[in-house]
Amino acid sequence: MKASPSSDPASTFTRAIVRTPGPDAGSGLTTAKLGRPDIRLLQAQHTAYIEILRTLGLEVTVLPPLPGFPDAYFVEDAAVVTPAIAVITRPGAPSRRGEIESIEMVLAQLLPVARIEPPGTLDGGDVLRVENRFYIGRSVRTNDSGARQLGRILDKHGYEGRVVPVGPGLHLKSSVNTLGGRNLVFAAGAPFRDAFADCRSIVLGPGDDYAANTLWINGTLLVPFGFPEARGEIGRLSLPVIEVAMSEMRKMDGGLTCLSLRF
């Protein structure tokens, strides 16, 4: 199905939570093989990202660095947030499990909270909301138990959960994201497109896989800078597009969706 414009009013965001990258941000987990990040540039890019969120009307809560947890600024992996409930995850990488306590403290002041319990593991980067359905990626970071637990929690609150085997790649949202409503953008090599057969799709060309991690916020699309062909494809939806410098976060397997919890 061809993509068409959508404002997706059911998913309008008013708030975001982010965390400032610490001086140890270059010591985190990565498979990217792009070299170590320039920490000052990474922090500057992160600050610019926050300002874009504010420009788009979000109230942004900025948490301080979390010493000893260099990946903690990828806050999306620590929780799955809906208007009805916040689900605190249990990250698949043991080194990241100490990140969730401080995120839970913040979210518990705003929403009811549920938790993924052992032996389940779940990263928020494996969870994609499309209207009232949540696609839950079964990946190297999210196991069957974690996916099933999230599905049961969502069901109790009127949402549908659907498990999708991710295959190669870190997270589900490394290869597919919403462009608003049921419009999706896929990396060229995404092996699970059949799971989204009732959605409308834009498939990026080879070499533009990183740009599949595009972020929809209230009718505006944030796209990684440096992928002109992908920007052109995504621009066919006739929605406003903002290109965002992500070179240093990319070196740490990070993308636009990873850097905030939006609700």
Q: Which of 46, 157, 199, 258 is catalytic?
A: 258
Q: Which of 46, 157, 171, 199 is catalytic?
A: 171
Sign for the pseudo-dihedral over CA of 69, 71, 77, 79: positive
Catalytic (active site) residue 46: no
* H or E, element range at 260: none
Rg (CA), the chain: 17
What angle (nearest 5°) sits at the alpha carbon of residue 226, between those of residues 222 and 232?
65
Q: Residue 90: CB partners within 8 Å, gap ≥ 6? A: 97, 100, 115, 116, 117, 118, 120, 121, 122, 146
**CB neighbour burial string for 150-170, b if at least 16 within 10 angstroms, e if fewer:** bbebbeeeebebebbebeebb
Instruction: Decide the pairing of beta strands 220-224 and 241-244.
Output: parallel
Place of tokens 């990070």: 254
Quick one: 141 exposed, middle or buried, by C-beta within 10 A (0-12, 13-18, 19+)? buried
What's the CA gap between 138 and 123, in Å, rounded?
Answer: 10
* H or E, element range at 148: helix 144-156
Catalytic (active site) residue 199: no
Tokens of 52: 């874009």
What's the CA gap between 196 and 99, in Å, rounded?
Answer: 31
Residues with active-site annotation: 171, 258
